[in-house]
Copies of this chain bind each other. A is one copy, B any other.
Amino acid sequence: MEARMAVPPEARTDTPPSFDAAFRAGLEALFAWRRDVRCFHTTPLDEAEYAALLGAACQAPSVGFSQPWRLVRVREGARRAAIRAIFATSNAAALALQADERAGLYARLKLAGLDDAPEHLAVFVEPQPGTGHGLGRATMPETVAYSAVLAIHTLWLAAAARGIGVGWVSILDPQHVVRALDVPAHWQLVGYLCIGFPAEASKVPELERAGWEHRLPLADLLVER
């Protein structure tokens, strides 16, 4: 601990980058075009590109600098088949909960790119990380899981900037996924990501295109106090 108290002088004297209008316009386009991708080409990702995405994920902020995300790259066919089976079961259960007139649409949305995406990444959270020493999470322990969400989003944006798509699969029984991937039983699933080159691009969310939901005006989401 004490050794880490020494701060390299360059950490204090770094000059922050100045982001120009072109970069900000690009960032705006990135936010607008970053989609939840369901249709992938099967083309594999370059290993260096993939490593860059994992590196970006680890740049995310975390509560107390606890870095509680745990990344599981799922490559084995048997593991992927197990995940696919968990999805099928959970999806059938979810379909049963939907009102009749929506069920058909729901089924057609092709909610998982599990079959085509060349990469599967399961993101878990270590709910009691030794790192961070509990800072910032006494009153809101959910901020630990939120940190893993931030890692996913950072990866997602880094991917989109490279023309790589990410689809977040949440229709999964988290406990079944923990067992299927043989990770520590106390890890909690935050998201299961399909990653690969998207088969189509759109500025409009698939659920909006499909008429599932529309974008809400800011006035509906903002109050002043």
Contact = CB atoms under 8 A, between A and B. Distances in A.
Interface residues of A, number: 113
Given A211-B5, A213-B131, A76 B225 contact: yes
Contact of A138 (B1, B58, B94, B161): B94
Nearest to A182: B225
Contact of A135 (B106, B146, B208): B106
Copies in the complex: 2
B131 A27 contact: no
Nearest to A4: B211
Interface of A: 1-2, 4-7, 11-12, 14-19, 23-24, 26-34, 36, 54-56, 58-61, 63-67, 69-76, 79, 90, 93-94, 97-98, 102, 106, 111, 131-140, 142-143, 145-146, 149-150, 153-154, 156-158, 160-163, 168, 170-174, 181-183, 189-191, 201-205, 207-216, 218, 221-225
15 contacts: A14-B203, A16-B33, A17-B26, A28-B158, A65-B208, A67-B216, A71-B222, A90-B139, A135-B212, A137-B170, A139-B170, A140-B174, A140-B189, A153-B153, A157-B157
Given A64-B213, A140-B189, A183-B225, 12 more contacts: A7-B204, A17-B26, A19-B160, A24-B162, A27-B30, A31-B158, A61-B205, A67-B215, A67-B221, A75-B224, A106-B135, A131-B213
